[in-house]
Structure 1
Amino acid sequence: MVHIANVPAVSDEIIVQFPKDHVLLLKFNRPKSLNAMTPQMVDDLKRMLDWFENEASLWVVIFTGSGRAFCAGADLKAWNTNEQSGKPMSPESIVINTNGFASISRRESKKPFIAAVNGHSFGGGTELVLNCDLVVASKDAKFGLPEVKRGVVAIQGGIPRLARIAGHQLASELLLLGNPVTAQDARNRFGFVNVVVPPSDVLSAALDLASQIISNSPDSVQSTKVGLLLTYKHNNEETVAIHSHAPETAGYMFGDNIKEGLKAFNERRGPVWKNAGTRTKL
């Protein structure tokens, strides 16, 4: 394992690992509860991801689960306690939580997110998967948005993302019926899974994708990720204009990595990348 200094402290509900250079692995660790999210887990994830965003040596994050599930969504027992005691969720609490479910489902990160879905993913678990850039799923995994069966709503970003990815009718099938779908259907019909592999290969396949990402310039990757996020908010010309002036694009244009990439190409060798934003003073 790679050693990283100044890692935030978290509870035992999250396992933090650095399986290779530039890669952060966050494992949900409540296997007996199918990794249903608690307030403690959300606090841990927020702390880690806020730090990850600003830690220049980390370029990619992978999410996975302990045990037989990826994430069963919110802890419905705790939610029921709040609801029955007169403490319902408010519209304001949803809106001000700009990172969404598990501090992931609406988070706009400049760095790539990979979901390594080792088992079933339901509710908020699927909402956070929909906000990942690449998704590897076990062939026996199932995905569902069963909120309507429990009197709640998939309101943490899953509805607009699924509609954009799958189209209105397929999104309606998942959201209005509330029934789970297989990993193959999530890939072939709904379009939000990239790779389906045997259960034993989920993490290695996710790490392979991470390796392919970190073989590229982190400046270029982060600028490209920002450009992808902008397409959700703007038309084509607006996206190009805003993307061109984004800090990540400026870092790419004036940093060391663009020089290294072009030089390596002309010298017929592999590039040696520096952390994003590195700019050597002449």
Structure 2
Amino acid sequence: MSSSAPTSPPPSSQTYLLTHPTPHTLLITLNRPSSMNALPHSAHWDLSALLTWYDASPTLRVAIITGAGTKAFCAGQDLLELRQLRDAPPPTPAEAAQRRHPRSGFAGLSRREGRKPVIAAVNGVALGGGFEICLNCDMTIASPTATFGLPEALRGIYAGAGGLPRLIRTVGLQVASEIALTGRTLNAQEAKELRLINHISRTPESLVEEAVELAKQVAKISPDAAIVTRAGLRQAWETASVERAYQITQERFGEALIGGENAKEGLRAFAEKREPRWLPSKL
């Protein structure tokens, strides 16, 4: 583990593995390869708690999420668990609440607002909730073997984890309708042409390495600027008015960013022709 690892331990879970492949970077690996990394209900709450911890960790600046194995990033909800629960006695109110998604959505990501960026490294199948994770991540790199789709309507349900409005914002009504109303699968090249992903990795094996290289670029910028820039981008995505989106971000962060130590350090480093020595963000 690098010296930039957080000082407090992360929440533990059987759902994921955690590593720090490079300073200031958290790699989250969904660890249910025998189930195509499909997630049980408890996993959504575990991952939501993990991402809350990540946002609050002073030394972490960027996270990557990927799947264990070579077949699947995440195949959505664990349907075997759903079948078992339907045959079980009615749940208590506490159990029923636990079976719903947290406010941050599927895997704690599909509706997450958060403070810091998350990069999806899609190593295989990303279906249903797995695709909805990607639709709300800040950047996505896909293996050449990756596939994407929302097959829920084929099963008599719908993509209800926040992916539909995000899909529309990215590709428009007509293309989103074709994807969601037919349940068809997109390959990596189709996803890239539709701007659903940023890059296709050179090989399946180099996927995580390339995601880490992208994370390094993000980690090099000011931690304050990363938080504010990301907030401005997402505000524009969520808000109908471009001008109002600007105002919200400026009112929330403008003075705090310019008056902060990292802005001063960035200007000093520029004047002294050296790399900046960033401090953990206080925003």
Per the normalisation by structure 2, the TM-score is 0.90
What's the CA shift for 1:95?
Answer: 9.0
- Aligned pair partner of 1:173 in 170, 178, 181: 178
Which of 174, 178, 201 aligns to 2:206? It is 201
Q: Is the 8 A contact 1:35 1:71 kept in 2?
A: yes
Structure 2: distance between partners of 1:204 and 1:168: 34
Aligned ranges for residues 1-282 of structure 1 at < 5 Å? Answer: 1-2=1-2, 3-68=5-70, 69-83=72-86, 97-188=102-193, 190-197=194-201, 198-231=203-236, 232-246=238-252, 248-277=253-282
Which shifted more, 222-231 or 3-12? Answer: 3-12
The amino acid across from 2:196 in the alignment is F
Deviation of the 1:237 alpha carbon:
1.8
Aligned partner letter, 1:59: R
Counterpart of 1:101, as a letter, is F
CA distance in 1: counterparts of 2:110 and 2:90, whole angstroms: 23
Structure 1: how far apart are the matches of 2:133 and 2:125? 13
Letter in 2 for 1:71: C
Structure 2: segments with no counterpart, 5+ residues: 92-96
- Alpha-carbon offset, residue 96 of structure 1: 7.6
Assess if the C-alpha contact under 8 Å between 1:59 and 1:214 holds in 2: yes
Change (3 A) 1:235 1:95: farther
Contact 2:16 2:30 in 1 (8 A): yes
Question: Aligned residue pairs: how many?
Answer: 273
- Classify 1:140/1:211 alpha carbon distance in 2 versus 1 (closer, same or farther; 3 Å): same
Query: Displacement of 1:42 after TM fit?
Result: 2.0
Pair 95,4 (structure 1): closer, same or farther in 2 beyond 3 Å? closer
Deviation at 1:82, TM superposition (A): 3.2
Q: Structure 1 residues 9, 95: closer, same or farther in 2, change over 3 A?
A: closer
Which secondary structure state, in structure 1, belongs to the residue aligned with residue 21 of structure 2?
A: strand
Aligned partner of residue 111 in structure 2, secondary structure? coil
Q: Return the alpha-carbon distance in structure 2 between the equivalents of residues 55 and 44 of structure 1.
A: 16
Instruction: Indicate how the Cα distance of structure 1 residues 234 and 96 shifts in structure 2: closer, same or farther if over 3 A, else same.
Output: farther
Q: Give how far 1:17 is off.
A: 1.1
Aligned letter for 2:130? G
Distance 1:275 1:5, change over 3 A: closer
**Which amino acid in structure 2 is aligned with residue 242 of structure 1?**
I
* Counterpart residue identity of residue 132, structure 2: E
Whole-Å separation in 1 of the counterparts to 2:254 and 2:26: 23
CA distance in 2, matches of 1:171, 1:162: 6
- Deviation, 1:84, is 5.2
CA distance in 2, matches of 1:103, 1:70: 15
Change (3 A) 1:21 1:251: farther
Q: Cα gap change, 1:54/1:268 in structure 2, threshold over 3 Å: closer, same or farther?
A: same
SS in structure 1 at match of 2:82: helix
Would you say the 8 A contact 1:36–1:73 is kept in 2? yes
User: Over aligned residue pairs, what C-alpha RMSD do you find?
Assistant: 2.1
SS of the equivalent of 1:143 reads strand
Task: Check the 8 A contact 1:137/1:193 in 2, yes or no.
Answer: yes
State how far apart, in whole Å, the 1-side matches of 2:156 and 2:174 are. Answer: 21
Paired residue secondary structure (1:20): coil
Distance 1:241 1:79 in 2: 44
Alpha-carbon distance between aligned partners in 2 of 1:80 and 1:21, rounded to the nearest angstrom = 42
Q: TM-score, normalised by structure 1?
A: 0.91
- Deviation at residue 86 of structure 1 after TM alignment: 8.1
Structure 1 ranges of 4+ moved more than 6 A: 92-96
Secondary structure, aligned partner of 1:26: strand
